[in-house]
């Protein structure tokens, strides 16, 4: 191992590398660590000056690499965890490119969904559950809406499946939303609606559920999953919280004791999956045994990770992929790069988008058409 005598020498060489290569401080640290064969503990104990620590912390925060943590020591501990890349033979750039190319829609084993038969029919019984202990103070027991754009261009036969940045901030820029807005600026509503038939976005919601009956996959019975659903089911939940009719009782469908089981039915209607026949049963506890209820609640999943900034690509990355799918001007090198990133990891998402269409895809657009605010982008 080449010995760097002082932290000041290390700091000087890191800063010099940053200037010469116009890169992040984390990249410079890892590049030099790989060069000299240094490990995380050695850097942490001997080489990171107070100045480098502070700059590294600020850089990680600005790049959304860490969450807001009140304790400064915890912040530094999180930052140092990223230096575990030092143990790999791969350079920082190689690791970064691998993560950059990784689809934001990677399969999540915590997710459950009904599996319809060839006719589009399915029957399940589920129970909506609250957030876990860490997220119990959230305003809603569900997460959402989370917006996404998922479609295949029949002309290019290429897929576009990306989370919309406006899920995190309604004022954020999204190239697909901008494209949709341009159509509504330049055409009448009906023409624009036709031209944005593929590119319109979709709102999804997420909640913990207990699967009581899964006719297709009975092994799921009695297990807690995360269920992703759309506006039709969200409306049914909202009607429980604030019933449309006075004679209907108001209750919290996520409550483990005062809630109710949910009959989830799907059928094909107009070529799309339809959830209209789904409904809540009468209020009843999950179980008469409090210990069983406690056992269920102990297995609740966190939902906030679904909207972690790392699951949303940058404006430029989304724009490049969108132009590729829409057959706009994209260099051969860029096309090859993006095509290589579409792999088996999104096979499930593609099948879901092609075979599991729902009748909820127009809901966002219809909500937009009902508004007179010309500054609102149509997802």
Token pair 């790999």 is at which residue? Answer: 88
Q: How far apart are CA 150 and CA 200, in angstroms?
A: 8
Q: Give pLDDT tens digits for 62-95.
A: 544 444 444 444 444 444 554 443 344 344 444 4
> Would you say residue 156 has pLDDT above 50?
yes
Same domain flag for 277 and 312: yes
Is 378 a domain residue? no
Same domain flag for 189 and 315: yes
User: Where does a domain end: 42, 74, 101?
Assistant: 101
Same domain flag for 258 and 172: yes
Same domain flag for 255 and 147: yes
Helix (H, G, I), strand (E, B) or coil at 171: coil
Same domain flag for 181 and 326: yes
CA geometry: angle 142, 148, 149, nearest 5 deg: 160
Same domain flag for 314 and 227: yes
Same domain flag for 37 and 117: no
Same domain flag for 214 and 174: yes
Q: How far apart are CA 340 and CA 72, in angstroms?
A: 40
What are the beta bridge partners of residue 213?
125
Q: List the single range of 4-18, 188-202, 356-370 with lowest mean pLDDT.
A: 356-370
Is 358 a domain residue? yes
Is 1 a domain residue? no
Q: How far apart are CA 329 and CA 321, in angstroms?
A: 11
Is 135 a domain residue? yes
pTM above 0.85, yes or no: no
> Would you say residue 204 has pLDDT above 90?
yes
Domain tally for the chain? 2
Same domain flag for 64 and 194: no
* Cβ neighbours around 100 below 10 Å, total: 11
pLDDT reported for residue 208:
96
**Residue 131 lies in domain:** 111-369
User: Where does a domain end: 101, 127, 148?
Assistant: 101
Same domain flag for 82 and 146: no
Is 376 a domain residue? no
User: Where does a domain end: 70, 101, 132?
Assistant: 101
CA geometry: angle 88, 91, 95, nearest 5 deg: 80
Is 174 a domain residue? yes
Same domain flag for 131 and 201: yes
CATH number at residue 251: 3.90.198.10
> Sorting pLDDT into bands at 50, 70 and 90, what band is 46?
low
Q: How far apart are CA 335 and CA 332, in angstroms?
A: 5
> Which residues, at least 6 apart from 143, have a Cβ–Cβ distance to it below 8 Å?
205, 206, 207, 303, 304, 306, 307
Q: Give pLDDT tens digits for 100-127.
A: 455 444 567 899 999 988 888 999 999 9
Residue 211: exposed, middle, or buried by beta-carbon count in 10 A (0-12, 13-18, 19+)? buried
Is 333 a domain residue? yes
Same domain flag for 194 and 278: yes
Is 194 a domain residue? yes
């Amino acid at each position: 191992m080449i010995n760097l005598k002082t932290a000041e020498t290390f700091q000087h060489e890191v800063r010099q590398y940053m200037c010469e290569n116009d890169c992040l401080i984390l990249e410079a640290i890892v590049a030099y660590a790989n060069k000299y064969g240094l490990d995380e503990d050695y850097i942490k104990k001997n080489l990171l000056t107070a100045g480098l620590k502070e700059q590294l912390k600020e850089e990680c925060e600005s790049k959304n690499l860490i969450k807001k943590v009140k304790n400064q020591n915890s912040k530094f501990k999180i930052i140092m965890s990223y230096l575990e890349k030092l143990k790999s033979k791969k350079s920082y750039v190689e690791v970064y490119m691998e993560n950059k190319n990784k689809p934001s829609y990677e399969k999540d084993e915590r997710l459950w969904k009904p599996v319809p038969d060839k006719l589009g029919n399915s029957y399940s019984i589920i129970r909506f559950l609250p957030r876990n202990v860490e997220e119990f103070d959230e305003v809603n027991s569900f997460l959402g809406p989370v917006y996404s754009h998922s479609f295949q261009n029949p002309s290019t036969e290429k897929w576009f499946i990306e989370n919309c940045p406006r899920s995190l901030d309604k004022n954020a820029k999204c190239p697909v939303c901008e494209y949709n807005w341009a159509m509504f600026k330049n055409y009448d509503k009906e023409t624009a609606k036709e031209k944005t038939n593929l590119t319109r976005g979709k709102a999804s919601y997420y909640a913990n559920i207990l699967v009581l009956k899964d006719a297709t996959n009975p092994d799921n019975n009695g297990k807690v999953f995360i269920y992703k659903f759309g506006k039709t089911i969200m409306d049914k939940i909202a009607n429980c919280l604030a019933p449309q009719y006075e004679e209907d009782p108001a209750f919290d469908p996520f409550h483990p004791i005062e809630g109710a089981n949910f009959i989830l039915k799907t059928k094909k209607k107009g070529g799309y999956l339809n959830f209209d026949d789904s409904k809540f049963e009468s209020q009843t506890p999950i179980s008469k045994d409090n210990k069983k209820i406690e056992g269920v609640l102990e297995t609740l999943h966190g939902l906030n990770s679904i909207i972690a900034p790392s699951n949303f690509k940058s404006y430029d990355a989304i724009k490049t992929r969108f132009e590729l799918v829409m057959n706009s001007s994209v260099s051969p090198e860029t096309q090859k790069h993006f095509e290589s990133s579409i792999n088996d990891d999104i096979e499930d998402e593609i099948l879901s988008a092609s075979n599991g269409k729902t009748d909820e895809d127009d809901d966002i657009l219809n909500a937009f058409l009902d508004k007179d605010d010309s500054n609102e982008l149509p997802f």
